[in-house]
Chain A
Amino acid sequence: MKGNIIKYAQDNIDTDVIIPGQYLKVHDYAELATHAMEGLDPDFHSKVKEGDFILSGRNFGCGSSREHAPIALSHSGIKAVLALSFARIFYRNAVDGAFLLPIEIDEDAYGGISEGDEIDIDISTNEIKNITKNQTYKMKPFSEIIGKIISAGGLFKYKPDKD
């Protein structure tokens, strides 16, 4: 999966800046997307392109349980968020609704990847290629259940194995 990076070099990007509370009343996902990241980066909506990735630091998505947060990013075109770590509810919401891939990265990837870099993520080999810089990094593999929910295409498509 290839895309370009929008980088926020900071920790603790919370759900209130990803989608401010006043928009939790909005049912239309396309409209919700126009307010994505509004609390942090008012230019986000004009610069994001279909297939882009977000890169950020620790504890991405902390705060509220609002599924509107991954929905707003997903409907803006974001296919994956690469971060040093994620807050748990955001992580599960992203996967459960098959909105976007939450990819845990290490300091090498965090420091090595810059704004605008073209990246290729391969979740079968857990490798991230930086096409722009010709570098390769490791991503943290998904746990078994998360991997299966992702492969199934969301929580409601996931059928547990018989064992």
Chain B
Amino acid sequence: MGKTLFEKIWESHIVVEKQNGPSLIYIDRHLIHEVTSPQAFDGLRMNKRKVRRPDLTIATMDHNVPTNNRSLPILDQTSAVQIQTLEKNCKDFGIKLFDINSPNQGIVHVIGPQLGITLPGTTIVCGDSHTSTHGAFGTLAFGIGTSEVEHVLTSQTLWLEKPKPFEIRVDGKRKNPHAVTAKDIVLSIIKNIGTSGGAGTVIEYCGQGITDLSMEQRMTICNMSIEAGARAGLITPDEKTFDYLRNREYTPKNYESLVDNWKEQLKTDNDAKFEKQFTLNIDDIAPQVSWGTNPGMTCDVTESIPSPEEFSKGDANQKKGAEKALDYMDLKPGIPITDIKIDRVFIGSCTNARLEDLIEASKVVKGQKISTNVRAMVVPGSQMVKKQAEDIGLDKIFINANFEWREAGCSMCLGMNPDILSPGERCASTSNRNFEGRQGTGGRTHLVSPVMAAAAAIEGHFVDVREMDLS
């Protein structure tokens, strides 16, 4: 029987395999950041252990770094301590760090691919659930907790139970690819399979709807695999993948011979078996807007807020969840999505803060001003994205429209730095989670694409971007 891409990568990384049990899996790259690593380093010191492969470990600071003027000291003392601790740990253990002043600093999942650290057919882990992003390159990549971070630091391996392969086929062609984006595809998938639909699996995305996407768009898809409960997301690498990674700062010297091997080895066999399958046709999908408090609570921009009965389809817990979500979000069934007024707009995060995201959003913003009732910010995914955007004048487009143009970091995606919502504020956000309090206590999050967020900033409420000229 043939094998899936996931199974091939898994098998090529087995160090020890137990009969019907877990496998010890080799980890090719370990990305670390300031929030989930300090206790792991404490553990190493306590047990007098070293980092086994500092050369395969890369660090940056992204979760709690301020996104305003970086020449000023960090006011939040606990954040400052966490940042200084990472600096000390990297120095003590010989780990490469892209610190707050580095031109390579940024969200860990944005800088990995940008620097050519993320490579097809490899394994990557990071103490962050959105590590699934790197799967866009045919990389088996997943998030781990701090104990596992310590295990990888000390052994470069992990004990893992083998997830099941899950095929998600995306067929069809979007009529307006500027208005209906990768974010809308992945939100549609989660809306259909639910937030635990991918539990225990690694998702392989395939079909024309996926191969048509650019690498940055594919990252948006794989990024949100975790929101469907999956371990990881994977896309078979192709010429777009190989072109993207060519000539990056850390691209291996023998790159072309690696590409030859990848072309031959990194694909799912025709007769491979998947444990689970799901197909989505995207010919006619609309821009998506989340209305509730998990990413599965999402509908088309043309729809109205569903009633808990409609949404739950008879499931008591789902109904209760929807009632609670509507209460938290201060919304009522039947309200058209386009009637929902917003207070804040956040264009950022590892889901949607790469250069293409900012270019697409800028088309909506150019020559316009944001609504007087809205406060809006753009937080580029990395300092490199920021510079590239400034080189083509995007900063001016956003600033002239009264957007705030910030330094790179996770920012208002998770509310660890000063960029947070006030209680009751409603935000159109390009991030990945609309959980209660995610963007600040009492804050209300609607997940959307960058163009949808930009249009909401201009109009002060959600609009169907298919009605705008985005070419």
Contact = CB atoms under 8 A, between A and B. Distances in A.
A154 interface: yes
B159 A155 contact: yes
A10 B229 CA distance: 17
A94 to B, nearest CB: 9
A155 B147 contact: yes
Contacts of B22: 143-145
Contacts of A96: 145, 147-148, 151
B147 A154 contact: yes
Interface residues of A, number: 43
A62 B195 contact: yes
Contacts of B18: 144-145, 160, 163
B321 A88 contact: no
A14 B200 contact: no
A20 interface: yes
Contacts of A143: 22, 161
Chain A interface main SS type = loop
B471 interface: no
A13 to B, nearest CB: 10
A59 B416 contact: no
Contacts of A62: 195-196, 229, 294
Chain B interface main SS type = loop
B117 to A, nearest CB: 19
Contact of B78 (A26, A66, A144): A26
A17 B39 CA distance: 22
A21 B417 CA distance: 9
Interface in A79-109: 85, 87-89, 92-93, 96-97
Contacts of B195: 12, 59, 62
Interface residues of B, number: 56
B147 A65 contact: no
B416 A17 contact: no
A85 B229 CA distance: 11
A156 B416 CA distance: 30
A97 B147 contact: yes
A3 interface: no
Given A12-B321, A16-B437, A65 B144 contact: yes
B69 interface: no
Interface of A: 9-12, 14, 16-17, 20-22, 24-27, 39-40, 57-59, 62-67, 85, 87-89, 92-93, 96-97, 143-145, 149, 154-156, 158, 160, 163
29 contacts: A9-B320, A12-B294, A16-B438, A20-B441, A22-B416, A22-B420, A24-B64, A25-B35, A25-B64, A27-B39, A64-B129, A64-B414, A65-B36, A66-B35, A66-B36, A67-B39, A67-B145, A88-B231, A89-B129, A93-B145, A93-B147, A96-B145, A96-B151, A97-B147, A143-B161, A144-B21, A149-B159, A156-B151, A158-B159
Given A25-B78, A25-B416, A144-B18, 14 more contacts: A11-B318, A16-B438, A21-B416, A39-B437, A59-B229, A92-B144, A92-B145, A93-B148, A96-B145, A144-B22, A145-B22, A155-B151, A160-B18, A163-B19
